[in-house]
């Protein structure tokens, strides 16, 4: 994960803290009952957050999420597996999308993992 953060910092991203974290009880196979002592404690959140202009990226153990904030909430840009190759490819796509000015907010499903943006006509993959 440190290697990914360093590569993104070279590309102009700056560290912007961490996401909020929360510890909750979740049911498990061993202790499926919830209650005061049932289940196991699990912590969610606490991901490293980076920022470049109006774009954000959070990096977790398994997934990395690129997004922007707007008046209506969070606009997803890309969600990929946390590997250097996948994150750098997604960063390149996000940067290209920002250059064209299309946020791909109106994707139309055309296949199992294929979408077409109604705004710009670009074919997108999940």
Per-residue model confidence (pLDDT) at position 88: 86
Instruction: Please tell me the total count of domains within the chain.
Output: 1
What is the pTM assigned to this prediction?
Answer: 0.68
Per-residue model confidence (pLDDT) at position 66: 92
Per-residue model confidence (pLDDT) at position 118: 67
Per-residue model confidence (pLDDT) at position 56: 93
Say if 119 falls within a structural domain.
no
Per-residue model confidence (pLDDT) at position 106: 55
Say if 117 falls within a structural domain.
no
Q: Range of 58's domain?
A: 2-101
Say if 110 falls within a structural domain.
no
Per-residue model confidence (pLDDT) at position 86: 87
Per-residue model confidence (pLDDT) at position 90: 85
Helices 2-10 and 84-100: crossing angle in degrees, nearest 10, is: 30
Query: What is the mean pLDDT, run by run of 10 residues, along the chain of 126 residues?
Result: 91 92 87 74 90 91 90 84 88 76 62 70 69
Per-residue model confidence (pLDDT) at position 72: 79
**Token output for 94:** 């996000």
Say if 112 falls within a structural domain.
no
**Token output for 18:** 């961490």
Say if 124 falls within a structural domain.
no
Say if 72 falls within a structural domain.
yes
Per-residue model confidence (pLDDT) at position 65: 93
From the list 67, 117, 90, 77, the residue with the least C-alpha distance to 4 is 90
Other Cβ atoms within 10 Å of 97 Cβ, number = 20
Say if 123 falls within a structural domain.
no
Residues listed for the chain: 126
From the list 56, 58, 81, the residue with the least C-alpha distance to 69 is 56
Say if 23 falls within a structural domain.
yes
Q: Which residue reads 């008046």 in tokens?
A: 71
From the list 87, 86, 65, the residue with the least C-alpha distance to 76 is 65
């Amino acid at each position: 994960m440190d290697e990914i953060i360093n590569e993104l910092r070279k590309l102009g991203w700056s560290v912007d803290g961490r996401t909020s974290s929360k510890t909750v009880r979740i049911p498990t196979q061993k202790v499926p009952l919830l209650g005061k002592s049932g289940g196991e404690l699990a912590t969610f959140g606490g991901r490293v957050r980076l920022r470049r202009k109006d774009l954000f990226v959070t990096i977790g153990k398994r997934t990395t999420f690129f997004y922007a904030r707007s008046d209506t909430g969070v606009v997803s840009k890309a969600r990929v597996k946390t590997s250097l190759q996948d994150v750098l490819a997604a960063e390149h796509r996000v940067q290209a999308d920002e250059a064209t000015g299309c946020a791909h907010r109106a994707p139309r499903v055309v296949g199992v993992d294929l979408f077409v943006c109604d705004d710009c006509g670009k074919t997108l993959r999940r």
